[in-house]
Amino acid sequence: MNIQFEMWRKIKIICLVIVGIFFWALCGNLSAEEEVVKVETFISKDGIHPGETFKVAFLVKISQNWHINAHELADEFLFPTSLTVEEDKSIKAMKYYYPEPKSGKFDYSESELLVYDGGVILGALVKIGDDVELGEQKLKAKFKYQACDNTSCLPPKTLNFEITFLVVNPSQETKKIHQEIFSKLDFEKDNTSL
Protein backbone atom coordinates (compact mmCIF):
# COMPACT_ATOMS: atom_id res chain seq x y z
CA MET A 1 0.00 0.00 0.00
CA ASN A 2 2.88 2.35 0.79
CA ILE A 3 4.42 1.58 -2.61
CA GLN A 4 1.15 2.43 -4.34
CA PHE A 5 0.79 5.66 -2.30
CA GLU A 6 4.38 6.65 -3.14
CA MET A 7 3.81 5.98 -6.84
CA TRP A 8 0.67 8.19 -6.90
CA ARG A 9 2.51 10.92 -5.01
CA LYS A 10 5.31 10.91 -7.63
CA ILE A 11 2.79 10.98 -10.50
CA LYS A 12 1.01 13.91 -8.85
CA ILE A 13 4.30 15.83 -8.46
CA ILE A 14 5.27 15.15 -12.09
CA CYS A 15 1.84 16.35 -13.27
CA LEU A 16 2.13 19.53 -11.19
CA VAL A 17 5.60 20.23 -12.59
CA ILE A 18 4.36 19.72 -16.18
CA VAL A 19 1.34 21.98 -15.59
CA GLY A 20 3.62 24.59 -13.99
CA ILE A 21 6.03 24.55 -16.95
CA PHE A 22 3.13 24.82 -19.39
CA PHE A 23 1.59 27.72 -17.42
CA TRP A 24 4.97 29.51 -17.18
CA ALA A 25 5.56 29.10 -20.92
CA LEU A 26 2.06 30.31 -21.76
CA CYS A 27 2.32 33.38 -19.51
CA GLY A 28 5.81 34.11 -20.77
CA ASN A 29 4.62 34.05 -24.38
CA LEU A 30 1.61 36.26 -23.65
CA SER A 31 3.80 38.75 -21.83
CA ALA A 32 6.35 38.72 -24.69
CA GLU A 33 3.59 39.27 -27.25
CA GLU A 34 2.27 42.31 -25.38
CA GLU A 35 5.71 43.92 -25.46
CA VAL A 36 6.55 43.18 -29.11
CA VAL A 37 4.45 46.00 -30.62
CA LYS A 38 3.56 49.30 -28.95
CA VAL A 39 1.41 51.98 -30.59
CA GLU A 40 0.96 55.68 -29.76
CA THR A 41 -1.65 57.88 -31.46
CA PHE A 42 -1.49 61.55 -32.40
CA ILE A 43 -3.88 64.19 -33.82
CA SER A 44 -2.55 66.83 -36.25
CA LYS A 45 -4.36 69.87 -34.77
CA ASP A 46 -5.20 71.19 -31.31
CA GLY A 47 -8.77 71.90 -32.42
CA ILE A 48 -10.90 70.80 -35.38
CA HIS A 49 -13.60 72.93 -37.01
CA PRO A 50 -16.87 71.26 -38.08
CA GLY A 51 -16.56 70.01 -41.68
CA GLU A 52 -12.75 70.02 -41.51
CA THR A 53 -10.26 67.32 -42.51
CA PHE A 54 -7.43 66.37 -40.15
CA LYS A 55 -4.78 63.67 -39.80
CA VAL A 56 -4.36 60.90 -37.25
CA ALA A 57 -0.99 59.19 -36.84
CA PHE A 58 -0.19 55.78 -35.37
CA LEU A 59 3.44 55.55 -34.24
CA VAL A 60 4.22 51.82 -34.19
CA LYS A 61 7.30 50.68 -32.25
CA ILE A 62 8.35 47.09 -32.97
CA SER A 63 10.81 45.34 -30.66
CA GLN A 64 14.28 44.46 -31.89
CA ASN A 65 14.52 41.16 -33.81
CA TRP A 66 10.78 41.31 -34.57
CA HIS A 67 8.77 42.59 -37.52
CA ILE A 68 5.15 42.87 -38.59
CA ASN A 69 3.82 42.02 -42.02
CA ALA A 70 3.27 44.86 -44.48
CA HIS A 71 -0.23 46.00 -45.48
CA GLU A 72 -0.08 44.17 -48.83
CA LEU A 73 1.20 40.59 -48.90
CA ALA A 74 1.83 38.03 -51.60
CA ASP A 75 1.59 35.14 -49.12
CA GLU A 76 -2.09 34.37 -48.43
CA PHE A 77 -1.24 32.49 -45.22
CA LEU A 78 0.14 35.58 -43.47
CA PHE A 79 -1.92 38.32 -41.88
CA PRO A 80 -1.43 41.84 -43.34
CA THR A 81 -1.16 44.97 -41.23
CA SER A 82 -4.28 47.12 -41.49
CA LEU A 83 -5.62 50.33 -40.06
CA THR A 84 -9.36 51.06 -39.93
CA VAL A 85 -11.19 54.13 -38.67
CA GLU A 86 -14.74 53.41 -37.54
CA GLU A 87 -17.01 55.64 -39.61
CA ASP A 88 -20.38 57.09 -38.70
CA LYS A 89 -22.51 60.05 -39.85
CA SER A 90 -19.97 62.49 -38.37
CA ILE A 91 -16.66 60.77 -39.20
CA LYS A 92 -15.35 59.58 -42.58
CA ALA A 93 -11.92 58.14 -43.39
CA MET A 94 -10.77 59.77 -46.63
CA LYS A 95 -7.42 57.97 -47.04
CA TYR A 96 -4.99 55.74 -45.21
CA TYR A 97 -1.21 56.00 -45.26
CA TYR A 98 1.12 53.01 -45.04
CA PRO A 99 4.91 53.48 -45.23
CA GLU A 100 7.08 51.73 -47.80
CA PRO A 101 7.81 48.23 -46.43
CA LYS A 102 11.18 46.52 -46.31
CA SER A 103 11.91 43.24 -48.02
CA GLY A 104 13.30 40.36 -45.96
CA LYS A 105 13.94 36.62 -45.99
CA PHE A 106 12.97 34.63 -42.90
CA ASP A 107 13.28 30.97 -41.86
CA TYR A 108 9.50 30.43 -41.79
CA SER A 109 9.02 31.43 -45.46
CA GLU A 110 10.46 30.16 -48.73
CA SER A 111 10.22 33.56 -50.44
CA GLU A 112 11.09 37.14 -49.51
CA LEU A 113 8.40 39.00 -47.56
CA LEU A 114 7.41 42.64 -47.20
CA VAL A 115 7.58 43.78 -43.58
CA TYR A 116 7.82 46.72 -41.20
CA ASP A 117 10.36 46.76 -38.38
CA GLY A 118 11.80 49.23 -35.89
CA GLY A 119 9.57 52.30 -35.81
CA VAL A 120 7.01 53.13 -38.50
CA ILE A 121 4.19 55.65 -38.80
CA LEU A 122 0.79 54.81 -40.28
CA GLY A 123 -1.92 57.40 -40.74
CA ALA A 124 -5.49 58.23 -41.59
CA LEU A 125 -6.93 61.35 -43.21
CA VAL A 126 -10.26 61.96 -41.49
CA LYS A 127 -13.13 64.35 -42.26
CA ILE A 128 -15.77 65.31 -39.71
CA GLY A 129 -19.29 66.42 -40.57
CA ASP A 130 -20.54 69.99 -40.65
CA ASP A 131 -23.11 69.16 -37.99
CA VAL A 132 -20.75 67.53 -35.47
CA GLU A 133 -21.22 68.80 -31.91
CA LEU A 134 -18.65 71.14 -30.40
CA GLY A 135 -16.49 69.80 -27.61
CA GLU A 136 -14.56 66.61 -26.97
CA GLN A 137 -15.23 63.82 -29.46
CA LYS A 138 -13.93 60.25 -29.82
CA LEU A 139 -12.54 58.61 -32.92
CA LYS A 140 -12.52 54.81 -32.81
CA ALA A 141 -9.89 52.89 -34.76
CA LYS A 142 -8.51 49.35 -35.09
CA PHE A 143 -4.91 48.39 -35.79
CA LYS A 144 -4.47 44.76 -36.90
CA TYR A 145 -1.09 43.09 -37.26
CA GLN A 146 0.88 39.87 -36.98
CA ALA A 147 4.27 39.96 -35.28
CA CYS A 148 7.02 37.53 -36.33
CA ASP A 149 10.66 36.91 -35.52
CA ASN A 150 13.08 35.10 -37.84
CA THR A 151 11.63 31.63 -37.19
CA SER A 152 7.91 31.94 -36.44
CA CYS A 153 4.88 34.22 -36.08
CA LEU A 154 2.63 35.02 -33.14
CA PRO A 155 -1.15 34.84 -33.68
CA PRO A 156 -2.67 37.91 -35.38
CA LYS A 157 -3.70 40.65 -32.97
CA THR A 158 -6.11 43.61 -33.03
CA LEU A 159 -5.57 46.77 -30.96
CA ASN A 160 -8.60 49.01 -30.41
CA PHE A 161 -8.21 52.75 -29.93
CA GLU A 162 -10.43 55.60 -28.79
CA ILE A 163 -8.69 58.81 -29.85
CA THR A 164 -9.94 62.05 -28.33
CA PHE A 165 -10.11 65.22 -30.43
CA LEU A 166 -11.61 68.63 -29.77
CA VAL A 167 -14.21 70.19 -32.08
CA VAL A 168 -14.20 73.99 -31.77
CA ASN A 169 -16.25 76.90 -33.08
CA PRO A 170 -15.32 77.89 -36.68
CA SER A 171 -14.30 81.34 -35.44
CA GLN A 172 -11.74 79.87 -33.01
CA GLU A 173 -8.14 79.83 -34.22
CA THR A 174 -6.41 76.42 -34.22
CA LYS A 175 -2.84 75.32 -34.79
CA LYS A 176 -1.01 72.30 -36.13
CA ILE A 177 0.67 70.07 -33.55
CA HIS A 178 3.08 67.09 -33.64
CA GLN A 179 4.52 68.25 -36.97
CA GLU A 180 7.68 66.16 -36.42
CA ILE A 181 5.40 63.13 -36.92
CA PHE A 182 2.89 64.43 -39.48
CA SER A 183 5.61 65.78 -41.79
CA LYS A 184 6.45 62.10 -42.49
CA LEU A 185 2.93 61.23 -43.71
CA ASP A 186 2.48 61.80 -47.44
CA PHE A 187 -1.12 61.04 -48.34
CA GLU A 188 -0.42 61.82 -52.02
CA LYS A 189 1.89 58.80 -52.47
CA ASP A 190 0.74 55.67 -54.30
CA ASN A 191 1.06 53.54 -51.14
CA THR A 192 -2.10 55.03 -49.67
CA SER A 193 -5.30 53.03 -49.78
CA LEU A 194 -8.86 52.95 -48.52
Residue 51 lies in a domain: yes
Q: pLDDT digit of tens for each residue in the chain (194 aa)? A: 556 545 544 454 343 334 333 433 444 444 444 579 999 999 999 999 999 999 999 999 999 999 999 998 877 778 999 999 999 989 999 999 999 999 988 888 888 899 999 999 999 999 999 999 999 999 999 999 999 999 989 999 999 999 999 999 999 999 999 999 999 888 876 555 44
Residue 5 lies in a domain: no
Residue 104 lies in a domain: yes
Beta-bridge mates of residue 122: 58
Q: What is the CATH number of the domain that holds 126?
A: 2.60.40.1250
Indicate the pTM of the whole model: 0.78
Cα–Cα nearest to 97, from 136, 42, 155, 149: 42
State the DSSP H helix or E strand holding residue 179, giving kind and residue range, or none if neither.
helix 179-182
Residue 50 lies in a domain: yes
Structural domain count of the chain: 1
* Structure confidence at residue 191 (pLDDT): 52
Residue 148 lies in a domain: yes
Cα–Cα nearest to 58, from 115, 104, 113, 126: 126
Cβ atoms of 115 and 102 closer than 8 Å:
yes
Residue 117 lies in a domain: yes
Cβ atoms of 66 and 130 closer than 8 Å:
no
Q: What is the pLDDT of residues 85-101, one digit of tens each?
A: 999 989 999 999 999 99
Q: How far apart are CA 45 and CA 52, in angstroms?
A: 11
Residue 126 lies in a domain: yes
**Domain range spanning residue 84?**
37-193
Q: What is the pLDDT of residues 129-155, one digit of tens each?
A: 999 999 999 999 999 999 999 998 999
Residue 23 lies in a domain: no
Q: How far apart are CA 161 and CA 174, in angstroms?
A: 24
